[in-house]
Amino acid sequence: MGDVLAGFHAVWEFDTDSVLIRFERGIRKPKLFQALGERRIPYEALSSVEVTGGRRGTVVLHALPRPGADPLMEAADGQLKEDSDPYRLVLPAERETLAEYYADELRTVLGPDAKEPADRHLVAAPEPPLHFKAYDGKASFDGRSVAFRWFWTGASSAKWKCGDQSFTVGELAGVEWRSPEILNGYLRLLERGAHEPGTGEPDQDPAAVVFGLGYGLVHESLPFAAAVLQAVRAAEPEGDTPEGEPRRRTGDARRDPADIADRIRHLGELHGAGLLTDDEFSTKKAELLAEL
């Protein structure tokens, strides 16, 4: 089409085989849009297009992705608020005729399998490295593995007992994301070959981090979940871990001395503030030193 359509929070640039969505930055713009920056959506990734009335004198051009085509929307699993849906372009109501025109144009270029679920991801997830702070730990993803580093003040004793965690992409079967904007939000990694993947309370599960007020925010944790999910889907499946053989964990390998030193300094601060007893400080310090 070669046209450009500007809305309140984004600009859609139409090409011959895709639409490039450029999200605008600003204090009043949705933070998820700012985090995404821009996304190229192939027409074959769309299932339908509709125009609906919006709020306060607006109209919405809404493109609906095929199930399984976009790792971001697959991870979100219908939990995004309407204003945070990256497939909605909000326009002034007087541009309804223009919105209908572009909706008709998009409908003519939908792929032949538009009504069918996609057998692979067609839209790119945000690129790693990515990281965010959850309530009980820091999650990081470098494109090859996901790491959870527990916070002393937030992680449960069960997680501390297991130690910091590391999961290669090949070990994973999927990702489960529960929005921090609902009660008890979390991100859980679903392990390949686990007897009961995705069960148990997330605060006790070393394969999960839990959210909370100000932790695991949508614009941080959802792109993270999408990137991991895309990597998992693209990876060649690895065989299940042999029965009785423990999965690899960061705590089973030697740690970076700088990381150990940082953790000991943090423990010292907690001890100095009276949040740890002498025995607790000595025990945990010895455990960290033993990992060198």
**Exposure of 49 in the CB half-sphere (CA atoms within 13 A):** 20
The three-class DSSP label of residue 171 is: helix
pLDDT at 234: 94
Q: What span, in angstroms and rounded, lies between the C-alpha atoms of 260 and 285?
A: 9
**Exposure of 125 in the CB half-sphere (CA atoms within 13 A):** 32
| Cis status, amide bond into 86, omega within 30 of 0 | no
Q: What span, in angstroms and rounded, lies between the C-alpha atoms of 139 and 128?
A: 12
Contact criterion met (CB below 8 Å) for 165 and 155: no
Per-residue pLDDT of the chain (292 residues; tens, 9 = 90+): 679 999 999 999 999 999 999 998 877 789 999 999 999 999 999 999 999 999 889 999 999 999 999 999 999 999 999 999 999 999 999 999 999 999 999 999 998 999 999 999 999 999 999 999 999 999 999 999 999 999 988 999 999 999 999 999 999 999 999 999 988 999 999 999 876 666 789 999 999 999 999 999 999 999 999 999 999 999 955 444 444 343 444 344 445 666 677 677 777 777 787 766 888 778 778 777 776 6
Q: What span, in angstroms and rounded, lies between the C-alpha atoms of 108 and 217?
A: 37
pTM for this entry:
0.81
SS3 readout for 43-105: HHHEEEEEEEECCCCEEEEEEEECCCCCHHHHHHCCCCCHHHCCCEEEEEHHHHHHHHHHHHH
